[in-house]
A and B are shown apart, each in its own frame.
Chain A
């Protein structure tokens, strides 16, 4: 679904060039859930933007759904690091925005939008303006917006960063359901998920990609051998702790490179 081939990105800032990404090669298969962890400023958000076709990389090649990326990729659900809600619209109208912007009839998505809001516990806030919501609630609204059109590809930039631990756990399991962990009739979505939480990465992902400090390179990739469907009890699995520790060690090895593919 996603093929990154030696992708590099150097921003031309007024203070001089900033190399954000260097030599990123990564393949995400259709239906795979890949988590991306790395220190702050290592280029994770930049990488998501490149995959979405919002920024052109300065080096390398990007394919999404077997096509080279030349502009914004169609049928992507994107959750930005900030909620990015239109503060003049009510929450429900924000969730319906993708339908409007892509030229569909928003009325046909009304029911789905309401259902998504219920899923994330915001059903009572549909008629409120974003500024009346907490940061975590805004993030959940943004998640609903990304899911509205049921896109096959989800790019998520720390979608649960502003949530309390319990809500975060709930949202994680909800994401697994939306992704299609237990679905038999429909194909799973492809998900690229940025997080700062190692346990979250391990709980959700098929693979965890660890990046080095800027310029971001891939330090190591770890397969997550834990069985699905996963739940709260997955954390009790001894492999969960062992893998978390190895990822932690790779992260703190500070760009000296990790143990390679786990």
Chain B
């Protein structure tokens, strides 16, 4: 454990007291105080977020396709997915740690768990909410089912998937931090927990600021990618 206030005397230990300007300044100073290994924490948390985001995206799209492909699969799968999605992730996180041990992986999985649901739903909706005429078009030209899927359904679903991924990008941030809250040796979530224990509010807020910067960066990247991948969609 590192001393999260860098050994300096505590400033504004109780929130709500003191000059707001001074408080903002102390948060900024803490955020830029690189005797705290911010880069290492940002790196760890970012890895967890990206991993969780990737897993949520891949699993979400795959499940969405399965649901759209077969009504039987949909009937079997959707209630289970709703159940998983309604589980309070904070309560599940300790189990993940028990099963998977400390490290990046459980936090990635919590991030994925929080973020996958919108991808499933939007993928399935994008694949099935399609103008009947478009499907007739495929049939008129004798396209086999897989070709209709590839050339008509999938592009039709892409804007839906991409807007779900924007939600997932922000949800994965929450997930990774929640995982770090429960138990972790590094990452911005752990910094917050430690700072709270030490009543070091500026460092806690500085960590929050870094978390939102990472979140904003990821959201921006996904939005840019969406515009590049689906330039026809109005966003």
Contact = CB atoms under 8 A, between A and B. Distances in A.
Interface of A: 49, 52, 54, 71-72, 74, 76, 78, 80, 82, 84, 86-89, 97-98, 100-102, 129, 131
Nearest to B152: A86
B224 interface: no
A131 B152 CA distance: 17
Contacts of B147: 101
A101 B136 contact: no
A111 B179 CA distance: 58
Contact of B151 (A49, A52, A101, A131): A101
B142 interface: yes
Contact of B155 (A72, A80, A86, A101): A86
Given A84-B134, A88-B158, A54 B140 contact: yes
Interface string B129-158: 001011011111111000110011001101
Contacts of B136: 49, 52, 54, 78, 80, 84
Contact of B142 (A49, A82, A89, A101): A101
B209 to A, nearest CB: 39
Interface of A is mostly: loop
A232 to B, nearest CB: 33
B151 to A, nearest CB: 7
Contacts of A74: 142
Contact of B143 (A49, A54, A101): A101
Nearest to B131: A84
Contacts of B137: 78, 80, 84, 97
Given A80-B133, A88-B155, A52 B232 contact: no
A154 B141 CA distance: 13
Contact of A76 (B140, B148, B155): B140
A49 B135 CA distance: 13
Q: What are the nearest 10 A-B pairs in CB distance?
A: A101-B143, A101-B141, A72-B139, A84-B133, A98-B141, A88-B232, A88-B155, A78-B140, A102-B141, A54-B136
A70 to B, nearest CB: 13
Given A101-B147, A131-B232, A86 B134 contact: yes
Contacts, number: 52
11 contacts: A49-B136, A54-B140, A86-B151, A88-B230, A97-B137, A97-B141, A98-B141, A100-B151, A101-B147, A102-B142, A129-B232
B39 to A, nearest CB: 40
Given A88-B232, A129-B232, A101 B138 contact: yes
B134 A54 contact: no
B178 to A, nearest CB: 37
A102 B147 CA distance: 9
Nearest to B233: A88
Nearest to A148: B141
B138 to A, nearest CB: 6
A100 B142 CA distance: 10
A35 B158 CA distance: 40
Contacts of A52: 136, 140
B105 to A, nearest CB: 37
Contacts of A89: 155
A88 B141 CA distance: 19
Nearest to B134: A84
A101 B133 CA distance: 15
B158 to A, nearest CB: 7
